[in-house]
């Protein structure tokens, strides 16, 4: 009975996370100030999400001290729509130091999430800059896939180490364009990313729709997990962990050690 209830709560948790992300993708208005309250109501009480989806520190540790170099880019929409008064001048935009401080806090939470799942990566921010020529909007959508290609090309031109991930953050007034033209099968997300490219010959990149200063990190976690080769982000399967472990062993910091085993030993 307990196992059944726990599985149901995890399903509600995942649905709630999707609902929060969907709300963030629906329009360019500011998200509700207390997303935790939304989740608490979805769970039928005030139970915090981490009690429903607790840390998994009993799993075999992977990615121990593997560096993840985050190269951060944000476009003009990312901070412009955060201004309460549209007449505020451009000098109201956060300074580069303020932006870096915010992203350090955001990615600190991303790192903590992975560590709580026994994935002991070390995220460090190598650059924070504004670029206006990578984003691709259209009349009623933000073309995330086309934007992702631009971020990939830009990242490739810099010839950075292959443990670098290029993240572009935006808060465009329109949601990301669905991949499918079939309305019954189409849905919008708040992230687009290269799949399984971390520490490979390909450039790792992600485009994230994120409200500046919200510290909502789910889309960033999801994008990062998929770049590592996982198929999930809220509950990692054994297959996910094996795939990510194999990915980490191709990183520069791990190449001099022994290759990974085929399977992660059970506890």
154: helix, strand or coil: helix
The reported pLDDT for the residue numbered 202 is 98
The reported pLDDT for the residue numbered 235 is 85
- DSSP characters over 78-115: HHHTT-SSTTS-GGGSPPHHHHHHHHHHHHHHHHHHHH
CATH of domain 60-248: 3.40.390.10
The reported pLDDT for the residue numbered 256 is 58
Q: Are 217 and 113 in contact (CB under 8 A)?
A: yes
Residue labelled with tokens 């026994």 = 118
pLDDT tens digits, one per residue of 120-178: 999 999 999 999 999 888 878 888 899 999 999 999 999 999 999 999 999 877 777 67
pLDDT tens digits, one per residue of 34-71: 444 554 444 444 454 455 567 777 789 999 999 999 99
251: helix, strand or coil: coil
Residue 194 buriedness (CB in 10 A; 0-12 / 13-18 / 19+) = buried
Q: How many CB atoms lie within 10 A of CB 72?
A: 23
What predicted TM-score, i.e. pTM, was given to this entire model?
0.76
């Amino acid at each position: 009975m307990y196992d059944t209830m726990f599985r149901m709560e995890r399903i509600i948790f995942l649905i709630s996370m999707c609902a929060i992300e969907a709300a963030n993708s629906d329009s360019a208005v500011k998200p509700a100030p207390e997303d935790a309250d939304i989740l608490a109501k979805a769970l039928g009480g005030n139970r915090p999400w981490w009690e429903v989806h607790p840390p998994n520190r009993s799993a075999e540790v992977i990615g121990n001290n593997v560096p993840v170099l985050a190269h951060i880019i944000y476009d003009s929409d990312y901070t412009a729509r955060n201004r309460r008064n549209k007449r505020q001048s451009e000098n109201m935009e956060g300074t580069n130091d303020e932006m870096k401080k915010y992203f350090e806090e955001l990615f600190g939470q991303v790192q903590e999430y992975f560590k709580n799942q026994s994935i002991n990566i070390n995220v460090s921010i190598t650059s924070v800059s504004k670029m206006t020529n990578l984003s691709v909007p259209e009349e009623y959508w933000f073309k995330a896939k086309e934007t992702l290609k631009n971020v990939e090309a830009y990242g490739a031109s810099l010839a950075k180490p292959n443990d670098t991930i290029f993240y572009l953050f935006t808060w465009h007034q329109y949601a990301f364009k669905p991949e499918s033209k079939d309305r019954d099968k189409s849905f919008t997300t708040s992230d687009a990313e290269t799949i399984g490219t971390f520490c490979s010959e390909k450039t790792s990149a992600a485009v994230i729709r994120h409200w500046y200063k919200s510290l909502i990190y789910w889309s960033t976690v999801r994008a990062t997990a998929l770049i590592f080769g996982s198929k999930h982000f809220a509950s990692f399967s054994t297959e996910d962990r094996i795939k990510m472990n194999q990915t980490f062993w191709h990183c520069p910091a791990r190449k001099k050690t022994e290759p990974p085993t085929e399977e992660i030993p059970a506890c």
